[in-house]
Amino acid sequence: MGSDAHRAAAPPEGAALGGAHESEPQVSFRHVGKQFRPRFGRSVTALEDISFDVRRGEIFGIIGRSGAGKSTLIRLVNGLEKPTTGQVMVDGVDVGSQGNAGLTALRRRVGMVFQGFNLLASRTVEDNVALPLRLTGTGLAEARRRACEVLDLVGLADKARAYPARLSGGQKQRTGIARALVQQPDLLLSDEATSALDPETTAGILALLRDINRTLGLTILLITHEMDVIRRVAGRVAVLEGGRIVEIGHAWQVFAAPRHAATRAMLAPVHGAPGGLTGIEAGHTLFAITQSGDDPPLDLTALAAPLGQGGRLLGNFAGEQAGRNATHLLLSAATDDVAACLSRLRAVAPTAEVLPYAG
């Protein structure tokens, strides 16, 4: 760490960066549709009526099966694709209506990390990272100095003079991340950045992304088909299926109580590991209680009475609440009067809420 050129600490939630208005979401999809019309063959609807916001400073995950439209969605954010209908706004700027100058300015603020690393074999790690600066006219010495700063940030300071061929997959990806950070973006797009890596290396890259998110206050839009990746880092998540958003919410909620068949299908491989709920009884209502670090400890035995007979403690999930670590306790009850049950629970645990769940 130790890059004074970067913001030193995560800004408070909702704080303005890059001169943007405080309450504005960083990325806003408004009824976005995308059709590909090849010269031969049938046109493909890759995205249909997508509307959601990515808030400043959050790690937002997008998951979906192959062909669901994830890469298309992320490519709209830095203008590599234009929407057929609707708008994609970044910091209040309509990406689709930007000309070349506007796109160049936008891409300076939006870093992107790919699965394939895209490193130049003939250049050192340092010069690969310095490349975006060189391309926009920064002098060699200054570009290298800033490259070394971000290499330090990603834990690769000692590889600055190495060539990509001498790096492991994880080191190549760290180089890719450093290159995406060298222009000090406000927003980082990551498309399957860990899918070529083994589980241990993946864990290291995810920890790095989380670290960058916290220390630089960087918003991250993370795309993957691996639920497990999202589960470990994302605060909120959207599930894409056939070009539509079929589910959106807090990652822990989507994991605990997936509502759509597509989500459950993707969850299947990680079910059984802590994280997925199984065996919710038909007709039961799900409740969640959120505890953050400073809350007084909950008396679990006091939860039994409000839940009534047949009430169960289903498990707990690590998550985030307003940027801080939190635990979400999941309970179920066989009750006809959900409102009464909720108010009894709230008397014991004020954060209790009903979770929507399509059993």
Ligand X SMILES: Nc1ncnc2c1ncn2[C@@H]1O[C@H](COP(=O)(O)OP(=O)(O)OP(=O)(O)O)[C@@H](O)[C@H]1O
- Cβ closer to ligand X: 81 or 126? 81
- Is there binding between residue 138 and Mg ion (CB under 5 A)? no
Contact 64, 262 (CB under 8 A): yes
* Residue of this chain nearest to Mg ion (CB atom): 71
Q: Closest separation between CB of residue 199 and ligand X, Å?
A: 19
Identify the three-state secondary structure at position 302.
Answer: helix
Cβ atoms of residues 215 and 155 within 8 Å: no
Q: CB of residue 37 vs ligand X: minimum separation in angstroms? A: 8
Residue number, 46 or 59, with CB nearest to ligand X:
46
Nearest Cα neighbor of 164 from 129, 199, 205 is 129
Question: Given the complex with Mg ion, which of 63 and 352 has the nearer CB atom?
Answer: 63
Helix, strand or coil for residue 208?
A: helix
Locate the DSSP E strands across 160-227: 187-191, 219-224
- Does residue 72 bind Mg ion (CB under 5 A)? no
* Nearest approach, Cβ of residue 106 and Mg ion (Å): 21
Q: Site for Mg ion (CB under 5 A): which residue of 3, 26, 71, 263?
A: 71
CB nearer to ligand X: give 85 or 215: 85
190 binds Mg ion (CB under 5 A): no
The answer to whether 213 contacts Mg ion (rule: CB under 5 A) is no
In angstroms, the CA 72 to CA 48 distance is 11
Task: Tell me: does residue 184 bind Mg ion (CB under 5 A).
Answer: no
> What residues form DSSP beta bridges with 338?
none
CA atoms within 13 A on the CB side of 172: 20
Instruction: Tell me how far, at minimum, the Cβ of 268 lies from ligand X, in Å.
Output: 17
List the single partner that 64 binds among ligand X, Mg ion, none, CB under 5 to 8 Å by kind.
ligand X
Query: Is the separation of the CB atoms in 1 and 149 below 8 Å?
Result: no
Q: How many residues sit close enough to Mg ion to count as binding (CB under 5 A)?
A: 1
Q: Is 194 in the site for Mg ion (CB under 5 A)?
A: no
CA distance 101 to 99: 6
Residue 176 binds which entry of ligand X, Mg ion, none, with Cβ cut-offs from 5 to 8 Å by kind?
none
Distance, in Å, from the CA atom of 16 to the CA atom of 22, rounded to the nearest integer, reads: 5
Smallest gap from Cβ 71 to ligand X, in A, equals 3
Q: Residue 3: left (phi > 0), alpha (psi -120 to 50), or beta?
A: beta
Strand order in the sheet with 285-292: 312-321, 324-333, 285-292, 353-355
Nearer to Mg ion, 71 or 184 (CB): 71
Binding site for ligand X (CB under 6 A): 36, 38, 44, 46, 64, 66-72, 225
- Cβ closest to ligand X, residue 80 vs residue 313: 80
The pair of three-digit structure tokens given for residue 171, joined into one six-digit string: 């080191």
Which stretch, 63-71, 151-159, 173-181, 276-284, contacts Mg ion (CB under 5 A)?
63-71
Partner touching 72 among ligand X, Mg ion, none, CB below 5 to 8 Å by kind: ligand X
SS3 state of residue 246:
strand
The contact set with Mg ion (CB under 5 A) reads 71
